[in-house]
């Protein structure tokens, strides 16, 4: 993976980064005055007891420290702000891109895996993103400035110092390679740990494991995964530590060698005490940023594994996207046409919907019936453009769904499915998810139409009651009616009801069905049902079998034919 792509993340912030580099350069240059001031103190001010000069030199040292400290604060403020904005952009881009993925992606991808990449992987990159660029600039500038100052003091001693650079760079490259491999393995294990948490601690999962008695086995699975993660964390932190420790010893030994060399008979007198002290001070100063540069190289190489996982998600193809030249529907009548539509689920061995032709005139109701697996729900999903057909097209008022903006289509087509999903917030906010600007009166009107207002109003906190994780505070029928009210609040021209009353008891179903029948008079409705009692009064009924339409007509016509529908109704 090219580092160029990582660098592009910082491209919008070139101005602030240029300021940071300038501040770093200024700080490094100012800091280089300290060893020269120290040499003057030792060689000139102290031996000659020149108090005015000593005062000026001491004041200069304090001023250098104050200026570099102030510049360091400015550098940290700007660089941290840039890094956090880059992290924010990366998080939101990945989240928004995943939101645009088709249902197929979420079907084949574990929820814990997605969460791990957005939180753990991006979180693991934070230190690198927020500090790497400035750390490289600061350390590199300091190394260059210090090297120049060292040569100015003694080019002979500078050569001795630079001997350790080649082995240090070689060792750092090997350590970086080791840590990159361990980082990739650690993040995969962390994702598996997140999946185990998701599969074990959600409301539905907790109930399942409690009833199956699989809790102890799940704990063992989590323990094993956590133990592997612990081992990888330990190996990652210790990778190359002995090698780096060896280099630290070498770095520390060089000043000792210089002191020893300065005391040899043939070198005595060639270097002043002040020059020797100033040089060793600079040498200690160059080893710190040099080690910092090597550490940054190791961190960047390790983080490439994280960037690769994030870029893998960013590079996912968006199967269902807004068209380049969207068509405006204008005043929607709601006529739906399904023309020669065929669709096969990814990995499927046969079409779920096979060459289907159906027309739903505006303001009428079409009911889809058939055995489980006949393609009813898939066809409803195609009308809502949760999938795109492999062949054929679906139109609303003559416009192909693929030529409409997804937001426009969502306003036109409302869906109430058999799998009710409620947000972990209040009843009021769950309803307003369909229409954020809805008034309280509109919210209550939709709830009354779905026959759920009395239930909600009887709660201690009414519409401000928290529904709980996935709506587990309410019964299946109550959740279904909240979902119906949520869709009705949007008032779509086309309504897809996929087993919308499947979770209701007979009495509640009858009440909700009356409300739906009344509202359906003003909209185009596609009803998917197993209970034929809910579709008897549909304007037209289509019978599906293995993805094909085998019969269509009114209830009376289909019963008279004594075909597949009559067998289902028997």
Does the domain formed by 336-569 have CATH 3.40.50.300?
yes
Predicted structure pTM score: 0.66
Rounded CA separation 136/230 (Å):
30
Strand 494-498 and strand 391-396: pairing?
unpaired
Which burial class, exposed, middle or buried, applies to 96 when counting CB atoms under 10 A from its CB (0-12, 13-18, 19+)? exposed
pLDDT of residue 438: 87
Q: How far apart are the C-alpha atoms of 75 and 81, rounded to whole Å?
A: 10
Tell me, what's the pLDDT at 232? 78
- Return d(Cα 24, Cα 19) in angstroms, integer: 9
CA atoms 428, 406, 310, 133: torsion sign: negative
- Report how far apart the first and last C-alpha atoms of the chain are (Å, whole number): 63
Cβ contact 519:449 at 8 Å = yes
What's residue 358's pLDDT? 93
26 HSE (CA, 13 A, CB side):
14
Domain layout of the chain by residue ranges: 3-314, 336-569
In angstroms, the CA 189 to CA 229 distance is 6
Contact 289, 24 (CB under 8 A): no
pLDDT value at position 461? 86
Q: For residues 194 and 199, what is the distance between their CA atoms, to the nearest angstrom?
A: 9
Consecutive sets of 10 residues in the chain, 570 residues long: mean pLDDT of each? 74 84 80 77 80 86 88 82 83 83 75 74 70 67 72 70 65 67 74 71 59 69 81 72 65 68 56 68 66 66 75 82 86 91 86 92 90 88 90 93 90 83 83 87 87 86 79 74 84 85 68 66 84 80 91 88 80
Q: Which residue has the tokens 């795109």?
A: 388
Q: Long-range contacts of range 202-206, CB-CB < 8 Å, 24 or more positions apart?
A: 202/469, 202/470, 203/468, 203/469, 203/470, 203/472, 204/470
Identify the DSSP state of 209: H
Residue 548, CA atoms < 13 Å, CB-side half-sphere: 5
Neighbours of 567 (CB within 10 A): 9
Nearest to 412 by CA among 428, 394, 389: 394
| 162 φ/ψ angles, rounded to the nearest 5 degrees | -80, -5
Alpha helices in 371-505 (DSSP H): 376-383, 406-412, 427-432, 440-449, 453-457, 476-490
Q: Sign of the C-alpha dihedral, residues 211, 216, 220, 226? A: positive
For residues 292 and 315, give the distance between their C-alpha atoms in angstroms, rounded to a whole number.
Answer: 33
Superfamily of domain 3-314: ABC transporter type 1, transmembrane domain (1.20.1560.10)
What does 73-89 look like in DSSP terms, one character per residue?
Answer: HHHHHHHHHHHHHHHHH
Return the DSSP state at 271: S
Q: What is the pLDDT, as a whole number, of residue 209? A: 55
Token output for 503: 């979770």
Query: Which helix (H) or strand (E) segment is 525 a member of?
Result: strand 524-528
Which structure tokens are listed for 568?
């289902």
């Amino acid at each position: 993976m090219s580092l160029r792509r990582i660098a592009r993340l910082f491209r919008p912030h070139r101005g602030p980064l240029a300021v940071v580099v300038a501040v770093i350069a200024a700080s490094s240059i100012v800091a280089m005055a300290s060893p020269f001031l120290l040499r003057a103190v030792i060689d000139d001010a102290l031996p000659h007891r020149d108090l005015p000069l000593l005062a000026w030199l001491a004041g200069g040292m304090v001023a250098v420290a104050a200026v570099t400290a102030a510049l360091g604060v400015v550098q940290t403020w700007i660089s941290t702000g840039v890094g956090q904005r880059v992290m924010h952009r990366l998080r939101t881009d990945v989240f928004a891109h995943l939101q645009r993925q088709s249902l197929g992606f979420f079907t084949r991808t574990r929820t814990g895996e997605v969460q791990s990449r957005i939180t753990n992987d991006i979180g693991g990159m934070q230190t690198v993103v927020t500090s790497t660029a400035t750390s490289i600039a600061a350390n590199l500038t300091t190394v260059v400035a210090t090297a120049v100052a060292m040569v100015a003091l003694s080019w002979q001693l500078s050569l001795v110092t630079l001997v350790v650079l080649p082995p240090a760079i070689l060792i750092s490259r090997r350590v970086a390679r080791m840590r990159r491999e361990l980082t990739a393995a650690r993040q995969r294990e962390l994702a598996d740990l997140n999946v185990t948490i998701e599969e074990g601690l959600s409301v539905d999962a907790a109930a399942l494991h409690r009833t199956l008695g699989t809790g102890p086995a799940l704990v063992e699975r989590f323990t094993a995964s956590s133990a592997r993660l612990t081992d990888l964390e330990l190996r990652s932190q210790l990778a190359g530590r002995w090698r780096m420790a060896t280099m630290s010893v070498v770095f520390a030994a060089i000043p000792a060698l210089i002191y020893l060399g300065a005391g040899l008979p043939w070198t005595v007198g060639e270097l002043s005490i002040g020059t020797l002290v100033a040089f060793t001070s600079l040498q200690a100063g160059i080893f710190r940023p040099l080690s910092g540069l090597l550490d940054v190289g190791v961190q960047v190489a390790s983080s490439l594994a994280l960037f690769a996982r994030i870029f893998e998600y960013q590079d996912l193809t968006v199967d269902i996207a807004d068209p380049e030249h969207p068509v405006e529907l204008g005043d929607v009548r709601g006529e739906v046409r399904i023309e020669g539509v065929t669709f096969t689920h990814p990995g499927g061995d046969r079409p779920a919907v096979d060459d289907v032709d159906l027309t739903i005139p505006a303001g009428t109701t079409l009911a889809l019936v058939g055995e489980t697996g006949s393609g009813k729900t898939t066809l409803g999903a195609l009308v809502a453009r949760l999938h795109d057909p492999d062949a054929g097209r679906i139109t609303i008022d003559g416009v192909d769904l693929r030529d409409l903006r997804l937001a426009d289509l969502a306003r036109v087509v409302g869906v109430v499915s058999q799998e009710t999903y409620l947000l972990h917030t209040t009843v009021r906010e769950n309803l307003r998810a369909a229409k954020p600007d809805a008034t309280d009166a509109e919210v209550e009107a939709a709830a009354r139409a779905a026959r759920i207002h009395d239930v909600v109003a009887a709660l201690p906190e009414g519409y401000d009651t928290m529904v709980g994780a996935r709506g587990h505070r309410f019964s299946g029928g109550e959740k279904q009616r909240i979902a119906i009210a949520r869709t009705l609040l949007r008032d779509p021209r086309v309504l897809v009801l996929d087993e919308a009353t499947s979770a209701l008891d007979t009495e509640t179903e009858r009440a909700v069905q009356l409300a739906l029948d009344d509202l359906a008079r003003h909209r185009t409705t596609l009803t998917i049902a197993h209970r034929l009692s809910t579709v008897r009064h549909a304007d037209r009924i289509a019978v599906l079998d293995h993805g094909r339409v085998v019969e269509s007509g009114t209830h009376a016509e289909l019963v008279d034919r004594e075909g597949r529908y009559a067998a289902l109704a028997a």
